[in-house]
Amino acid sequence: MKQTTKNVGKFAAVALISATVAGVTSYSLRPEERETTSFCEQFPKSTQITPAIFGNSTAGVMDLTKAAEASVNAVVHIKSTQLGKVQTVQEPMDLFDFFFGNPHGGRQRQVQTQPRVGFGSGVIISTDGYIVTNNHVIEGADEISVKLNDSREFVGRIIGTDPNTDLALVKIESEDELPTIPIGDSDALKIGEWVLAVGNPFNLTSTVTAGIVSAKARKLDVYGNSGIESFIQTDAAINQGNSGGALVNANGELVGINSVLSSPTGSYVGYGFAIPTSIMTKVVTDLKEYGTVQRALLGISGRDLNIHFDDEMKKKAEELGVNEGVWVAEVVEGSAASAADIQADDVITGIDNKTIKTMAELQEELAKHRPGDKVKVKLIRDKKEKTVSVELKNAQGNTKVVKNVDMDLLGAAFKELPDDLKRQLNLGYGLQVTGVTDGKMKDAGIRKGVILLKANNEPLRKVTDLEDVLKSASQSPEQVLFITGIMPSGKRVNFAVDLSQED
């Protein structure tokens, strides 16, 4: 479970409203650990309890045994292994290098890294073996092992990942139908409602803890500007290894994927946070259908108009004539908001039939949509209520389906630059094109033998470096790889590789 370092008493502005979220939890493939303070005193809990189908209340005690029985068998243990790799290490320059002309530093040597193993949880959502987990649980993994509650083990295959939501979809193959948890409506959750956190925090069979929903649409600022945060906050005990596990209501329905732990020690103290199924369902559907998430963007920057915590916002609210909502600080040119005549200093108070009080609520609502969807945005302008129709767009500023881009699109093969060629050309790194077929690189004029040094200003030391830049560029509005290279003759060359695809 990721530990956040932020105090969430105030909610910060985000750069753009996106239709995805990102969650992060601690994981052995991501060794850094962070600390936070307990949120116990900041967010008082309600004690309201909603009736449950499985809940038999005796002397005021909620019976959650049937809900637990209905969910434990569908929560799995995930082991992901990153195999050891050979890496090139640049040693510091010494006097020999200085006097005998190695401008790129000292000598290079090959280092074998050790395998790295991480553990997490996952939730089976279909009888044919689709499993939802956190992206960071399987990120960078070369091998994935899935262990069921009955101790059966399977090899996991990644169907799709979305770092901006910290969600991933994994598939296992079984001759038998697998146990599942029915997906519930996280929007229907109420503050004070009983929930169960189910996972494998200590590499055991499924473990269950109970608590209540402490808050909804909670924003922690743990994912930066690239993601949407609208967490379900619960006081059910969540520990490391619960990443990707299930948050279940008293009816035994999945309402969230456990993602973030608030703790000063790395173990449970205070609260846990889960990605709601309202976001998970759409992300998983996109990953299954397209291999990547279809992100709908509104195209604004702004912040909560929260008069309780901010004197500046209190003055702004008096000027605008509204006490709560999302204040629009800026509208991105060419965006969906711009086309719909949403303006700076508007206050968004609703989308379709959903009341919007915070940025997190706005992000969660948009996360349910795809580019091309039309929504009704209710706003306050000049102290008057106004409703505008908005056609949501993607990051490229249109409504086309964004396709999953992989290295096959480039139509080329690559290898790391051999040491002898590095010495001949006086280069510290590079990728050599070993073959070109029909594809984007051929269209850009790249031929066999060309040495690629940088793509979009990022050094290319390994083939995986190019994969990372390609993935990032394919999601950008420009959808272009700007490549700097060199011919074997030493001639410098530049290329622009168009990554856009026809429908």
CB 370 within 8 A of CB 393: no
CB 367 within 8 A of CB 228: yes
Round to whole Å and give the CA distance between 369 and 351: 11
Q: How far is CA 296 from CA 95, 165, 186, in A?
A: 56, 13, 20
Give exposure, 393-417, as e/b (b: 16+ Cβ within 10 Å): bbbbbebbbbbebeeebbbbebebb
Nearest Cα residue to 166 out of 244, 255, 272: 244
Structure tokens of 55? 């809940």
3-state SS, residue 347: strand
Structure tokens of 321? 């004539």
Cα of first residue to Cα of last residue in the chain, in angstroms, is 39
3-state SS, residue 67: helix
DSSP codes, 265-292: SSS--S-EEEEEHHHHHHHHHHHHHHSS
3-state SS, residue 443: helix
Round to whole Å and give the CA distance between 192 and 188: 12
The 3-state secondary structure of 458-478, one letter per residue: EECCCHHHHHHHHHHHHCCCC
Give exposure, 474-490, as e/b (b: 16+ Cβ within 10 Å): bbeeebbbebbbbeeee
CB 431 within 8 A of CB 414: yes
Q: How far is CA 424 from CA 61, 173, 420, 454, 488, in A?
A: 77, 50, 6, 19, 9
Catalytic residues: 136, 166, 243
Round to whole Å and give the CA distance between 317 and 324: 8
Round to whole Å and give the CA distance between 244 and 242: 6
What is the Cα 412 distance to its own chain's centre? 29
Q: Which residues contact 205 (CB under 8 A, 6 or more apart)?
A: 72, 77, 149, 151
What's the one-letter identity of residue 191? I
